[in-house]
Amino acid sequence: MPTLWIKNARVIDPAIKRDGPGDLFISDGKLVTSLSAAAKKRAKKIDAAGLVACPGLVDIHVHFREPGQTHKETIATGSRAAAAGGFTTVVSMPNTSPPADNVGTIQFIHDAVRRDAVVKVLPTGCITVGLKGLALAPIGSLKRAGVVAITDDGECVQSNELMRRACEYAKMFGLPLMDHCQDASMTQGSVMNEGVTSTRLGLRGWPHAAEDVIVARNTILAELTGAHIHLQHISSRHSVDIIRRAKARGVPITAEATPHHLALTDNLLAGYDTNFKMNPPLRTEADRRALLAGLRDGTLDCISTDHAPHTDYEKDKEFDYAPNGILGLETALAVVLETLVRRSRFKLARVIDLMTRQPARVLGLPAGTLAPGAPADLCLFDSAETWTYDAKAGFSKSSNSPWHGRTLTGRVKTTIVDGRVVFANSHIAER
């Protein structure tokens, strides 16, 4: 394990309220206060002049597709995309084939992570067997197998009674419960946000109420059971208001927003480009501004990508038939810097907090800080570098991104996991 000395960086760590020029020292995979004179001589030095050094980014919502859908993504390719985006810890969703609803599948994922991943990949387990919403998965066994949360993401548990029992078991086993908020009875055949644009384009609309109803349901169940429910990829301004009022009552809920819902709106679907098709859909400018306000006042706790790879031949279909989802890991930091820091006047330290300490806090993960003794997980980035994103040349196995060919500002230069450089100079350092 190399000893590292990162010099001349702007070090930002909201967890310990550090923001200023300085050096960072790494020994035996941990951050340390300083190195001895002898250790400094033999340390590998990284000159970070002009760069920001922050905790490795944390994403608690990604889809790596393995097992069963490896034509879209694998743990190997997904983790490399994460490293290129500055992420050192990611949490994978269980909507694989077969779904991660049993110990055997969770063990398969653990084995693949140990063998192939270049960043920390933590699995979640299903709430219900087969993601079908009919019977609870073995939550206690999943916890013992090493899941960090349970979720049916990709689907939403429609039965309120079943969701209540899931909350009770999740609380019993000390697991957060993450939910994709969608009333399926209101979204049959829906492909984009219901509104003026959907009417003009002749596409069936997905009403914001389908999200709002389940967000309200989940706040009621969290208050009833005391379980921690995390609300995934919030997109509706009405949901933000429900969450804000529930938090004011002390309800144990948390919530996330995605870079694409913060940056884009439904009017971009005018060209029927399926790379703008996702679930929940892009909504209106009023919704987008409400998400920004929710992040600003703490109603929304963190930013997650919902990285969802699909192949070109799956996305290259009539809009109604193309799958939902876009890539997010390699572009997230640049998109968030543009949307929040440059356009919305968020402090850079606040944005880093939303992508490091806060998502780690939501799931109780040992990540998101540069404090001495913490794992040496770091991201070094140039907040001013301009570059053109080529999704087809990226590290993901897929290329379904609305930012393909776009000029972005802010680029990850180096990613370090447990004291080992895994990404530098646009290349992955193979294991």
DSSP 232: P
Tell me the C-alpha distance between 255 and 178, whole Å. Answer: 9
Q: Could you confirm whether 377 is annotated as catalytic? A: no
Contact 150, 166 (CB under 8 A): yes
Q: Which residue of the set 152, 266, 306, 353 is catalytic?
A: 306
Tell me the C-alpha distance between 144 and 104, whole Å. Answer: 12
User: Residue 413: what residue type?
Assistant: K
- In degrees and rounded to multiples of 5, residue 61 shows phi and psi of -155, 90
Contact 221, 196 (CB under 8 A): no
Tell me the C-alpha distance between 103 and 140, whole Å. Answer: 10
Tell me the C-alpha distance between 398 and 326, whole Å. Answer: 9
Residues with Cβ within 8 Å of 28's Cβ and at least 6 positions away in sequence, in order, are 1, 419
The first and second tokens of residue 295, run together, are 């992040």
Tell me the C-alpha distance between 424 and 398, whole Å. Answer: 22
Which residues are identified as catalytic?
Answer: 306
